Structure 1
């Protein structure tokens, strides 16, 4: 297992297995999201992982709109049943790592609201 694969496994465990009640509640301002790079998971209370993504700025990513929320509401999910789990990646260093980690995580999980899953190189 490569270092990136090991890091991805650790991140996935934290994103998916963190108690739902400890994930960030959604509000219109997304005030609780840090202005930092990271991998994030949009989770449903009972349906689990809905969407997984990466961004250079978690706060800006959500304040600019996010298609997974629109889709979830179209599917009639109650807003109180959807939360965000985040893993800040400013401690991981290497710039290209964010993209590599996202690809590994998407291949491993195939969340229903991710449209395109990066292919193995």
Structure 2
């Protein structure tokens, strides 16, 4: 199994309780590259994605789309799981994730 598949499985199956609360400042999200999963308390996995800069993904143009979509949920019912990946530690993994 590729490491990217392992990471995707791990983040996709992270329990709601293990995820971080989301806030609209996104100051609790790393600036590093990585993958993320948006999870709802009862509906489960809502979205999984990847970004070169995790915080910029949410505070940039993706923010308007994300919050328009998430506004139908109560803030306390939505959390995020993040797996930062250092380009310097594993550049091949970032390329591998690009093919997923």
Task: State TM-score, norm by structure 1.
Answer: 0.68
SS at match of 2:91: coil
Whether 1:28 aligns to 2:24 is yes
Q: Which runs of 4+ in 1 moved over 6 A?
A: none
Higher mean alpha-carbon deviation, 91-100 vs 30-39, is at: 91-100
Deviation digits for residues 13-59 of structure 1 (CA, Å, limit 9, x no counterpart): 32122221221111121111111000111111111111111100001
Cα 1:66–1:22 change in 2 (3 A) is: farther
Q: Which TM-score applies when normalising by structure 2? A: 0.80
Matched, 1:18 2:17: no
Tell me, what secondary structure is at the counterpart of 1:51?
strand
Instruction: Count how many residue pairs are aligned between Structure 1 and Structure 2.
Output: 95
Distance 1:48 1:67 in 2: 20
RMSD of Structure 2 on Structure 1 (CA): 1.8
